């Protein structure tokens, strides 16, 4: 498993604003999208391409285009939706699927409650989007789900991660082809399983709480 922690002043700046408890939901959503586009640049470094021939205004030349089958982007509901637009702006030809995974706040165990994915992911590059890699349970469940459908490689993109979460993913994947791209690596988890210093509940801060 490969782990890439972004090291860029713009990413650190935007994460600082996200962490601030006074940042409003509209600003939080906008910055999450911007951060995702910056992280997507790193996440797609090894996206598959194939050679093609084009006509420029001057001559015929060769370039590359995104190869088939197209990459599959999978936001983990609900908070992962806030990252989707930033990813598809950079990779507009990608297909999009969805996974709904909820964490039991008592046991911290994940449960899959919804999915909208192709039945067969053979030979597909998949990009899983989940803002917070805390205990790692939800993302690990999502990665396992994608490999069980036949995916050959999975890149997971998170705004924040923890050493505990990274270890949980590494324990799961074994020798399978997995890359983690993180905006930052935080200190760890508190007794409730929240990232410290973190930024709170990403879903609530993106969309507010439902009464």
Element at 53 (helix H, strand E)? strand 49-55
Whole-number Cα distances in Å, 79 to 23, 59, 74, 100, 123: 17, 46, 12, 10, 27
Residue 201 known to be catalytic: yes
Q: Contact at 8 Å (CB) between 184 and 161? A: yes
Q: What φ, ψ does residue 145 adopt, rounded to 5°?
A: -60, -45
Sequential pLDDT tens for the chain (211 residues): 999 999 899 999 999 999 999 999 999 999 999 999 999 999 999 999 999 999 999 999 999 999 988 999 999 988 888 899 999 999 998 999 988 887 666 666 777 788 888 888 888 899 999 999 998 888 998 999 899 989 989 999 999 999 999 999 999 888 889 999 999 999 999 988 889 999 988 888 888 764 3
The answer to whether residue 176 is catalytic is no
Closest to 127 in 3D by CA, of 139, 110, 111:
139
pLDDT per position as a tens digit, 194-209: 899 999 888 888 887 6
Going by C-alpha positions, the residue among 102, 105, 153 that lies closest to residue 128 is 153
Q: What backbone phi and psi angles, to 5 degrees, belong to 177?
A: -85, 95
CA 195 to each of CA 14, 105, 201, 210: distance values in angstroms, whole numbers, following the listed order: 17, 14, 9, 22
| C-alpha distances out from residue 37 to 11, 48, 127, 182, Å | 10, 18, 13, 13
pLDDT at 105: 66
Output the pLDDT for position 71: 92
Residue 7 has a pLDDT of 85
Pick the catalytic residue from 107, 111, 116, 120: 107
Active site residue 204: yes
Pure H helices in 91-201 = 137-148, 163-173
pTM of the model: 0.88
Please report which residue ranges of the chain form alpha helices under DSSP H: 9-19, 25-43, 81-90, 137-148, 163-173, 202-207
Three-state secondary structure call for residue 191: coil
Distance CA 123, CA 128 (A): 16
What pLDDT is recorded for position 209? 66
Residue 202 is predicted with a pLDDT of 87
* Catalytic pick among 103, 112, 152, 177: 103
């Amino acid at each position: 498993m490969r782990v890439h922690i972004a090291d860029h002043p713009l990413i650190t700046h935007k994460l600082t604003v996200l962490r601030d408890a006074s940042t409003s939901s509209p600003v939080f959503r906008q910055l999450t999208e911007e951060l995702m586009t910056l992280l997507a640049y790193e996440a797609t470094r090894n996206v598959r391409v194939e050679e093609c021939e084009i006509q420029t205004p001057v001559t015929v030349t060769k370039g590359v285009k995104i190869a088939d089958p197209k990459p599959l982007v999978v936001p983990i509901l609900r908070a992962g939706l806030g990252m989707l637009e930033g990813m598809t702006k950079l990779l507009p030809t990608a297909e999009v699927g969805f996974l709904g995974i909820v964490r039991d706040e008592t046991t911290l165990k994940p449960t899959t409650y919804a999915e909208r994915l192709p039945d067969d992911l053979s030979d597909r590059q998949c990009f899983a989007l989940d803002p917070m890699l805390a205990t790692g349970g939800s993302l690990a469940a999502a990665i396992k789900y994608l490999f069980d459908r036949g995916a050959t490689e999975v890149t997971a993109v998170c705004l924040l991660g923890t050493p505990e979460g990274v270890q949980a993913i590494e324990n799961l994947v074994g020798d399978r082809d997995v890359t983690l791209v993180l905006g930052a690596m935080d200190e760890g988890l508190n007794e409730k399983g929240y990232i410290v210093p973190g930024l709170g509940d990403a879903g609530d801060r993106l969309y507010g709480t439902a009464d």
